[in-house]
Structure 1
Amino acid sequence: MDRGCLAVVFDLFGTLVPAYPHHAVLTEMAAVLGMDMDRLSFIAAFVEDTRDRRETGQFESLEENLRFICDRLGREVPQDRLHDAVRIRRDFTRASLTPREHALSTLGELRGRGLGVGMISDCCEVVPPAWRESPFASHVDVAIFSCEVGVKKPNPKIYQRACDALGARPSRCLYVGDGGSDELSGAVGVGMEAVLLAVPGEEGIDPYRPGAATWKGRTIGSLREVLDIARR
């Protein structure tokens, strides 16, 4: 890192908050939509087939995304069922934004040292309002949501946007993530130093971390370790 660290940018899910089982909430949503027998098809359509469109804001809403999936699977679903499925996802998202151990204290200490603190999340439109109601909002200087900016990790533009907003060159920024969305290689690609957070006991909870298994760079097991790396 050139002449010390000026800012630290964190991933959200699996990093600032613990990893969570995607399939549990998706199974509940499928049941509400009357797709118990098509549960696996629904999950595949949500997680794989429409994820990029949802997380880059190409669907106007989560409800539109769910309607698209239902139509493609040949299911007519009443409007109230769609509303219920959206509510389940919103409630789950709010509950998921519980800071992991040492998260808020680490963010506070970094800012106390004069470092900028940012967050980048690949997410759909239910996350930004939940974030703004969460304890994180007052601890982070810059929050970038893929659904609002139209690009997601590992696109270089989303990292550069965070660095620009923090007023620091990528070469003086540290990126911390759990390896989802190939985020670590994306951060390195724009010149940031990247660190994998691999918390003991969370292996296998989230199957969508393509970068974690192949990462050869620095790895930490607790957010507190960021404080030893991020030095001005």
Structure 2
Amino acid sequence: MDSPPQFTALVLDLFGTLVPAPSTRERALAVHEMASAIKVPENLVKVALKDSWLPRHDGTLRTTGEVAARLTATCGAPRGRAPHVEAVLRKLAPGRLQADATVLQCLAKLRRSGLKLCLLSDAAPDIAEAWSRSALSSHFDVALFSCREQAVKPSRQLYAKALERLDRDPRSVLYCGDGGGAELAGAAHCGLRAVRVERRGGPTALAFGAEPSAWRGVTLKLVEELPTWLAGLPVGTGSFR
């Protein structure tokens, strides 16, 4: 077994941390496919996606079908086109969950060290529904998605649910994310210690409510550095927010 860390559990963000946050090019391709599916101008789909971020992520829209119906209606397309949008969303979701081999190896090493792992992600239903078929899923003890928990970061409800599912005291849990959605401050406010990783996908990747410039705590370049960093922590380290 690898050297045990001082923490007993780790909560990890998904987009920008384990997999790249969507790039402007990826978003443009998704907009193009959806616009083609419902036969409307791309700018309508682009605006509909932006304006629907919260209901897609906070549980207002509970399924991929409901998301597709909302986008179709917002774009003024016939209701019968919604299944085509749903098909596009379902097709694209697995690709957004593809992690580098180095990330999978990192997660395996963290679990071998004795840590329980929890995924906590602001995500729409298409991502939540595709999760169990991803290579990432088998590395986690718990997976929580905002659309299913009916709250988005930095809601205390999400961190409390993660601690409940992990059955851990917040002082023994580390949160790791790229800083989108005020997630790091949210974790700290709930008693978890937090570490930031630079956004996977680069500085131009899209993120909601990014806060990296305000973060004054520990920052790692990549999530893959976590096992080495954790192994080097002295017991009782207090340099966290």
Relative to the length of structure 1, the TM-score reads: 0.86
Superposed CA RMSD in Å reads: 2.2
Tell me, in whole angstroms, the C-alpha distance in 1 between the residues paired with 2:152 and 2:134: 22
Q: Secondary structure at the match of 1:59?
A: coil
Alignment correspondent of 2:206: 206
Paired amino acid for 1:227: P
1:102/1:223 contact within 8 Å kept = no
Alignment correspondent of 1:32: 37
| 2:156 aligned with 1:156 | yes
1:178/1:209 contact within 8 Å kept = no
Tell me, in whole angstroms, the C-alpha distance in 2 between the residues paired with 1:174 and 1:105: 19
Alignment correspondent of 1:76: 77
Tell me, in whole angstroms, the C-alpha distance in 1 between the residues paired with 2:224 and 2:67: 38
Unmatched 5+ stretches in structure 2: 236-241
Shift of 1:72: 4.0
Question: Where do residues 140-155 of structure 1 align in structure 2 (5 Å cutoff)?
Answer: 140-155=140-155
CA pair 201-98 structure 1, distance change in 2 beyond 3 A: closer
| 2:16 aligned with 1:6 | no
Tell me, in whole angstroms, the C-alpha distance in 1 between the residues paired with 2:117 and 2:143: 9
2:72/2:82 contact within 8 Å kept = no
Paired amino acid for 1:51: W
Question: Where do residues 205-224 of structure 1 align in structure 2 (5 Å cutoff)?
Answer: 205-224=205-224
Shift of 1:78: 4.6
Moved more, 59-68 or 152-161: 59-68
Alignment correspondent of 2:61: 59
Tell me, in whole angstroms, the C-alpha distance in 2 between the residues paired with 1:144 and 1:199: 20
Tell me, in whole angstroms, the C-alpha distance in 1 between the residues paired with 2:205 and 2:117: 27
Question: Where do residues 108-187 of structure 1 align in structure 2 (5 Å cutoff)?
Answer: 108-187=108-187
Tell me, in whole angstroms, the C-alpha distance in 1 between the residues paired with 2:186 and 2:195: 12
After superposition, the C-alpha distances for 1:95-140 in whole angstroms (9 at most, x for unaligned) are 1211135211111111111111110111122122311011112111
Q: Secondary structure at the match of 1:203?
A: coil
Q: Secondary structure at the match of 2:88?
A: helix
1:11/1:177 contact within 8 Å kept = yes
Shift of 1:209: 4.8
Relative to the length of structure 2, the TM-score reads: 0.84
After superposition, the C-alpha distances for 1:131-165 in whole angstroms (9 at most, x for unaligned) are 10111121111101111111121101101111221
Paired amino acid for 1:7: A
Alignment correspondent of 1:193: 193
